[in-house]
Structures are given as C-alpha cells and as structure tokens.
Amino acid sequence: MVVMSMTRMTTTPKALPMSLPSPKPTMTPTQSSIST
C-alpha cells in the first residue's frame, strides 16, 4: 500500500492537498498509517 501512496503523491501532488487537509506535515506518516 505504501507504493501506491508514493506513486500517487508523486504522480498527482496536486490531488493530495485536495484530499488531505495538510499533506505537507502529514504526507508520509499519515498516508503510511492509513495505507497500512
């Protein structure tokens, strides 16, 4: 699931901020936690 998160944020970095309230401070940790 981590791969999907990484690819997703790398492919569509603009979609992250739309989906997440604060993708900067909680980009990898939150995504990893939710993914796992």
Given a cut of 50, whether residue 33 has pLDDT beyond it is yes
Instruction: Give the pLDDT mean for 16-30.
Output: 53
User: Mapped to the 3 state alphabet, what secondary structure does the chain carry?
Assistant: CHHHHHHHHHHCCCHHHHHCCCCCCCCHHHHHHHHC
> What pLDDT is recorded for position 35?
52
Q: How many whole angstroms separate alpha carbon 25 and alpha carbon 23? A: 6
> What pLDDT is recorded for position 3?
54
